[in-house]
Structure 1
Amino acid sequence: MFRTPSPARPVPLAFGGFIALAAAMGIGRFVYTPILPAMAAGIPLPPTEAGLIASANFLGYLTGALTASAGLFARHPRWWFLTGMAISALTSGAMGLTPAFGVLAALRFVSGLASAFVLVFASTVVLERLQAAGRPGLSALHFGGVGAGIAFSAMLIASLEAGSASWPQLWFASALATLVFLAVALVLVPAEPAADRPAMDGPAAQTHPDTAQKPPAAQATPPLWTAPLVRLVLAYGLFGFGYVITATFVSVIAAEDPAMAPVQHLVWLVVGLAAAPSIYLWNAVSSRLGSASAFALACLAEAAGVTLTVAGFGPFWLMFGAALLGGTFMGITALGLTQARSLSPAHASRLLALMTASFGLGQMIGPFVAGTLREATGSYAAASLIAAAALVVASALVFRSDQAWANSQ
């Protein structure tokens, strides 16, 4: 139906991936953050239930990522990521149909699963075609869609709320935007049988959603568990816990403080704008300092950002904290997964699952802890400071591995 893009046109292809991730991640996975203040006031939705709904989404994402990475759906990656976008749109729209907690949690679970499928399979298609076209560097444009989608969702929700839209209408608009993005991705990433064949080692081994490089061929089978890998897996789980509390509740944090309310709609926009170019930034830092030092530095910067969002220093520092969060979480994700594969290429697929599981567990625990502590203490400060401490520990764990990590380069 559509012409297949030639290797001479990789930019439209990368932009198609950008659009897919903007829809499934920036909207489907993260739009809950800017909509949450309206839901909390309109339903009303207590903090514990808000946290559990977020945790359900992250459980769905973990389930989807592990399922997609297992290779069971590898034959038609384009079909699966387009289907995931459609499901993401449907579940977003359905969120506006009922205030029932159980239904909302179930919908967010399915939405998380769908977003993982889009991330895995859109990356499988786009990154393989970019590699074949000799333009693997455009993968940063592809992954930049996550931050751009966050920024778009912030502007969409802010503009609708300025017009007094209700929380269900915010979800309906998000669903419509996802459908529009689906139509664009359908054109920019057309069917190509050669790219839609399953990879020899499956999508988990070839193109994980958060990293663009293929693992080097295994020459031997060294032990899976080494001290640097154990520390890295633990650090990755702490990172998942450390970033997700602020990423879920930062708009609520701003809305609940009268001094911060004027920047409530801007704070999530800042997160997205900072996230969009962050892969380029942290790749440059990694090439200069080494992957371990870059990972440790990014975790410390993110810890500072998480702390600033609840420090009460004023709107500027809240916005600066949001920028530090947005500017680090995608970079840490890419650095961690890339280096896990470099440390043990013979176990690339297993490490993908272990890292994803560790990260997903941290993501699921974070919102529940935050909601529970919010009801117990009256603010998100305690949970955010615990998250910042977790990021500091993650930094220390990986920094200790600096020499072993450097030796793997």
Structure 2
Amino acid sequence: MKNQSYLFLIGGIFSLIIAMGIGRFAYTPILPLMQKELSLSNTVAGYIASSNYAGYLLGAILAGAIPFKKYRTNLLRVSLIISILTTALMGLTYSHLLWNALRFLSGFASAFVLVTASGIVLDKLATVRKTSWSGIFYGGVGLGIFLSSLMIPSLNHLFRWEGTWIGLAVISGVLAIFVWIWLDEKPNVVEKKNKQDIIVKVPPTKWLKWLIIAYGLEGLGYIVTGTFIVSIAEKTSYFHKGATLVWMLVGLTAIPSCLIWSLLAKKWGYIKSLVLAMVLQSLGIAMPAFWMSKTSFIISALLFGATFMGITTLATTLGREMNPSDSSRTIGILTAIYAIGQLMGPILAGVLSSFTHDFNAAFIGAASVVFFGAILLSSGIHFETNPDVHPSNTKKQKSIN
């Protein structure tokens, strides 16, 4: 049983590497390579990025609205195939229109992978009483970012930016074979909790609206750094042909971050941990606007990597704990509001940078939005210190009010 759980978890991690670490986020380190050879403006780059987030939004809405629990495994597999194909096709065309269409489809697939894989894996971990392993699962995004950042310079040197997309798609295809074998959802017998089990205190379901709003603000703010930080670093004198290092640091710190934040949530509470993570992230986002140096970019990348997937881990796990009877729908709604923020962020930042001729205003605005989200979340901290509030209260509520 234990070995099966490990393989199940690894299959989930591989699915996130394919659809998120590569399918969704490889655009960030490949963008400066494309801009250099094709003279893409920040505005065009922002629209292409936002096409991905528009697809992500549609996918999240459908994943949250359709009761597909019986078909999660099949939907996951189809979504992975779409993700791999759209990654490969990015290197086989030079059309802005097709790039927008491909990034849209890639975003659509990545949302379905995130929602379906999260639902499958989190439900399985809850069954075997290993909820804290969710941090290991979501670390797959950081692992995908780190591994792709390691490979992109070599792939670009050998095959230019076109071959980089295709090479990453081939690697994704190999990983998908293991996902197919290991991440196969089967009916599970839910184990009863013992009296000695630690009960994680969470707010009542009616407070979920504040989590949803704050998570949407997080999507709007974080994505400015998530889309443009490598491109901006590339244009400075501090990273001569080595800006991919910035994205590699993001991935490297993201790998353990999810587990660390999960452990902190067990000790401090999910909401306190979310507030801290968002405050730290807002500092990292704003830093290059006030202190432009190699050190500031590195610190910004480290803070960003240490928080962005940790926030996703905390928010989705908290959402599931608050509404366990309909986990996929809850995660789908959270993912959708996050995607709305992501859709707006790159467009606003790209247009704003074209007017101001730098990204300082965009970074400050993005940091302010994330910080405001942290303030909204702080309204729920008192629930975690109330001994009468725990998951057994919320399980009686089967839908989101």
TM bin, normalised by shorter chain, reads 0.7 to 0.9
For residues 149 and 348 of structure 1, the distance between their equivalents in structure 2, rounded to whole angstroms, comes to 25
Q: Is contact 2:83-2:106 (8 Å) kept?
A: yes
1:397 to 1:179, Cα distance in 2 relative to 1, 3 A: same
Residue type of the partner of 1:371?
A: G
Corresponding residue of 1:204: none
Q: TM-score, normalised by structure 2?
A: 0.86
Corresponding residue of 1:318: 297
- Asked whether 1:31 is paired with 2:10, we answer no
For residues 194 and 339 of structure 1, the distance between their equivalents in structure 2, rounded to whole angstroms, comes to 24
Corresponding residue of 1:149: 144
Q: Is contact 1:96-1:171 (8 Å) kept?
A: yes
For residues 132 and 8 of structure 1, the distance between their equivalents in structure 2, rounded to whole angstroms, comes to 15
Residue type of the partner of 2:21?
A: G
Q: Pairwise CA RMSD of aligned residues?
A: 2.9
For residues 310 and 185 of structure 2, the distance between their equivalents in structure 1, rounded to whole angstroms, comes to 30
For residues 149 and 289 of structure 2, the distance between their equivalents in structure 1, rounded to whole angstroms, comes to 20
Query: SS in structure 2 opposite 1:301?
Result: helix
More displaced, 353-362 or 126-135? Answer: 126-135
For residues 16 and 348 of structure 1, the distance between their equivalents in structure 2, rounded to whole angstroms, comes to 20
Q: Is contact 1:10-1:135 (8 Å) kept?
A: no
For residues 117 and 39 of structure 1, the distance between their equivalents in structure 2, rounded to whole angstroms, comes to 27
For residues 72 and 349 of structure 1, the distance between their equivalents in structure 2, rounded to whole angstroms, comes to 8
- Asked whether 1:194 is paired with 2:194, we answer no
Q: Is contact 1:291-1:406 (8 Å) kept?
A: no
Corresponding residue of 2:177: 183
Residue type of the partner of 1:89?
A: I
For residues 253 and 176 of structure 1, the distance between their equivalents in structure 2, rounded to whole angstroms, comes to 28
More displaced, 9-18 or 395-404? Answer: 395-404
More displaced, 336-345 or 260-269? Answer: 336-345
Q: 2:250 aligns with which of 271, 276, 283?
A: 271
Unaligned runs of 5+ in 1: 1-5, 200-213, 217-221
Unaligned runs of 5+ in 2: 191-198, 391-401
For residues 39 and 314 of structure 2, the distance between their equivalents in structure 1, rounded to whole angstroms, comes to 39
Report how far residue 175 of structure 1 moved.
1.2
Q: Is contact 1:309-1:319 (8 Å) kept?
A: no
- Asked whether 1:288 is paired with 2:267, we answer yes
- Asked whether 1:237 is paired with 2:216, we answer yes
Provide the aligned length of Structure 1 versus Structure 2.
381
Query: SS in structure 1 opposite 2:93?
Result: coil
CA-to-partner distance for each residue in 1:362-400, whole Å, 9 max, x for gaps?
A: 111000011111211222221111001111111111123
Identity %: 36
For residues 357 and 251 of structure 1, the distance between their equivalents in structure 2, rounded to whole angstroms, comes to 26
Corresponding residue of 1:103: 98
1:140 to 1:346, Cα distance in 2 relative to 1, 3 A: closer
Report how far residue 246 of structure 1 moved.
0.3
More displaced, 346-355 or 278-287? Answer: 346-355
Report how far residue 44 of structure 1 moved.
2.3
Corresponding residue of 1:376: 355
Residue type of the partner of 1:58?
A: Y
- Asked whether 1:361 is paired with 2:337, we answer no
For residues 330 and 123 of structure 2, the distance between their equivalents in structure 1, rounded to whole angstroms, comes to 21
Report how far residue 331 of structure 1 moved.
1.6
Q: Is contact 2:136-2:259 (8 Å) kept?
A: no
Report how far residue 28 of structure 1 moved.
0.4
Query: SS in structure 2 opposite 1:99?
Result: coil
For residues 317 and 164 of structure 1, the distance between their equivalents in structure 2, rounded to whole angstroms, comes to 31
CA-to-partner distance for each residue in 1:100-123, whole Å, 9 max, x for gaps?
A: 222111111100111122222233
1:237 to 1:193, Cα distance in 2 relative to 1, 3 A: closer
1:344 to 1:160, Cα distance in 2 relative to 1, 3 A: closer
Report how far residue 339 of structure 1 moved.
3.4
- Asked whether 1:169 is paired with 2:148, we answer no
For residues 106 and 227 of structure 2, the distance between their equivalents in structure 1, rounded to whole angstroms, comes to 15
More displaced, 267-276 or 288-297? Answer: 288-297
Corresponding residue of 2:375: 396
Query: SS in structure 2 opposite 1:29?
Result: coil
Query: SS in structure 1 opposite 2:92?
Result: coil
Query: SS in structure 2 opposite 1:122?
Result: helix
CA-to-partner distance for each residue in 1:169-207, whole Å, 9 max, x for gaps?
A: 111112111111112222333x45536x9x9xxxxxxxx
Corresponding residue of 1:3: none
Q: TM-score, normalised by structure 1?
A: 0.84
Q: Is contact 2:64-2:329 (8 Å) kept?
A: no
Corresponding residue of 2:13: 18
